[in-house]
Amino acid sequence: MHRNTPCVLVLLCLLMVTGGCSRYQVIPDHLEWQVDQQISFTQLRENPESYNGELVVVGGEVLSVDRKQDKTRIEVLQLPLTDDLIPVDRRTKTQGRFIAISGGRDPLDPAVLEKGTAISIVGEVIGSEMIQVGQDEKPGPVLGIKDLTIWDEPHYWGRTYYGGGWGHPGLYTGYRPFGYPYY
């Protein structure tokens, strides 16, 4: 046995443990101090104008995506978020709908988001809009996207990703193959 073998084994074990425990950070570092995680979706839905300018984190399931000229409008069925800011996969837990707007120089391409895609959004509250729900119209908050996380469906619904072939179930939660920061 080579004399450096124990050091290599220890290093490999450390890499497995630290790599297996990492999770994706939904709120980017440069926005973390600005986000008010105390604002609930219920509060936001009830009175969005009182939160104008605030940064919040919400998530849910994409219902529709529409791009017009310089902005993309995403209608989202809100779903509560886990402690890791991942939307729960139970539509019965919804508290309503909201609109997320991607604008600026490079609005989001609608082909990136399909109906049913799970997303988490760091967004600035910019008002409210009437949203068609069946035969009714209901008011819903409108958010300007600051950062968007698109959850990969096979891994999102299962909540566990066995990354890198290490095979440590439950250690690597959440998975973000696509991210769209809006600085």
Which helix (H) or strand (E) segment holds residue 98: the answer is strand 97-102
* Predicted confidence (pLDDT) per residue in 62-112, tens digit: 999 999 888 999 999 999 999 999 998 888 889 999 999 998 777 788 888
Task: Tell me whether residue 21 is in a domain.
Answer: no
Task: Tell me whether residue 60 is in a domain.
Answer: yes
As for how many domains the chain has, the answer is: 1
Task: Tell me whether residue 8 is in a domain.
Answer: no
- CATH at residue 168: 2.40.50.140
* Nearest residue to 113 via CA among 63, 77, 68: 63
Domain housing 108: 31-181
Task: Tell me whether residue 2 is in a domain.
Answer: no
Task: Tell me whether residue 176 is in a domain.
Answer: yes
Residue 106 burial (CB < 10 Å; 0-12/13-18/19+)? Answer: exposed
Show the CA angle centred on residue 158, arms to residues 156 and 162, nearest 5°.
90
pTM assigned to the model: 0.73
Q: Which residues of the chain have pLDDT under 70?
A: 1-23, 153-183
